[in-house]
Amino acid sequence: MTTSLTGGKPDASTRNRPAASGGMDPRTRKRLGVIALNTAGVLVFLFATFPVYWMVSTAFKTNDQIFTTDFIPIPTEITFDHLDRVLTEGVAGNSIWVYMRNSAIVALGTVLIGAVFALLAATAIARFRFRGRTSFLITLLIVQMIPAEALLIPLFLNVRRLGLYDQLLGLIVINVGLTLPFGIWMLRTFVAAVPKSLEEAAWIDGASRFTTFRKVLFPLVAPGLVATSIFSFITAWNELIFALILMSDSSGYTMPVALQFFFGQRGTDWGAIMAGSTMMTIPVVVFFLLVQRRMVSGLVAGAVKG
């Protein structure tokens, strides 16, 4: 190493020169890392949103642009014929709003009923120690691993036996059963993260168990309840198989079933399918935008303690 004649210290040119074995400058390495992460984030965003963009853009393309072999990312001519046909002509003799209403009833009913049972079950599992607790948790995991299609026949027979065939209540019950295991597992983490000393302090002050649950535990678990409700809503809103099998009257169909009528033997009306799919996506996006803040805070809070 070159040193100066006076102080024996490295000269300026030596100090500014990167070490031969040190590699890249740390600031440059950090800057390149940030650029790589941002680039990866943009690519993931484009990969995830491109199908949605293609669906919306196809809904406003003419048939010539839809069935052409050329790649047309931006419609050169915008038409509202597909959307107007879906709104005015309807599907299977019913207005499209009938199917939207049915989907909303099933999804909201699943969220409300499932949230109540999931919260109560998660509280019992997280707070109480009872015989069979571990077996119950393992059973929930096993139920989540079973494909819904494998349960189609027994659930169909049970729904008919209960007199819920061809009723929206039957769909709600089925969707609650499908989403409840996930909701219990997720909410159990949130309940376990709440210190039990807070409830004990409320009991010392004279609060009953119900008051403690309502004023102490519930506000702290509410973000997790919102996050669970979003997943339940999306699952029930997009469910197709059970809505197709358990409903024989077209007036009870949900939106995913209604979209099947645009697939015909003579061809597929892709314009109407994309227009109906765009309408079907709007309520989910609105619901997510309304509760996204609580969902993010809920997911972060649930990751603090397992």
- Predicted pLDDT of residue 101: 92
- State both tokens at 293: 């803040």
User: Could you give phi then psi for residue 237, rounded to 5 degrees?
Assistant: -70, -35
Q: Angle formed by the axes of helices 168-193 and 218-238, to 10°?
A: 140
Distant-in-sequence, close-in-space partners of 104: CB < 8 Å, separation ≥ 6: 283
Q: Give the CA dihedral 138, 142, 145, 149, nearest 10 degrees.
A: -150
Contact 182, 228 (CB under 8 A): yes
Q: Where are the domains of the chain?
A: 26-79, 92-302
Q: Is the pLDDT of residue 304 over 60?
A: no
Question: So what's the architecture of 92-302 in CATH?
Answer: Orthogonal Bundle (1.10)
Q: Counting Cβ atoms within 10 Å, is residue 5 exposed (0-12), middle (13-18) or buried (19+)? A: exposed
Average pLDDT, the chain: 82
226 CA to centre of own chain: 11
Assign 21 a pLDDT band (cuts: 50, 70, 90).
very low
Q: Counting Cβ atoms within 10 Å, is residue 205 exposed (0-12), middle (13-18) or buried (19+)? A: exposed
Most confident of 98-107, 187-196, 242-251, 279-288: 98-107
Contact 182, 117 (CB under 8 A): no
For the stretch 265-293, pLDDT in tens is 667 888 888 999 999 988 888 877 877 66
Q: Round to whole Å and give the CA distance between 175 and 160.
A: 16
Q: Give the CA dihedral 189, 193, 196, 198, nearest 10 degrees.
A: -130
For the stretch 194-246, pLDDT in tens is 888 888 888 888 888 888 888 888 888 888 888 888 888 989 999 988 998 88
User: Could you give phi then psi for residue 57, rounded to 5 degrees?
Assistant: -65, -35
- State both tokens at 68: 């052409």
Q: Counting Cβ atoms within 10 Å, is residue 246 exposed (0-12), middle (13-18) or buried (19+)? A: buried
Instruction: State the residue for tokens 């070159």.
Output: 2
Contact 225, 296 (CB under 8 A): no
- State both tokens at 78: 């915008």
* Residue that wins the pLDDT comparison between 241 and 93: 241
Nearest to 225 by CA among 198, 190, 195, 180: 190
Q: Give the CA dihedral 76, 82, 88, 93, nearest 10 degrees.
A: 180
Instruction: State the residue for tokens 């935008």.
Output: 289
Contact 224, 301 (CB under 8 A): yes
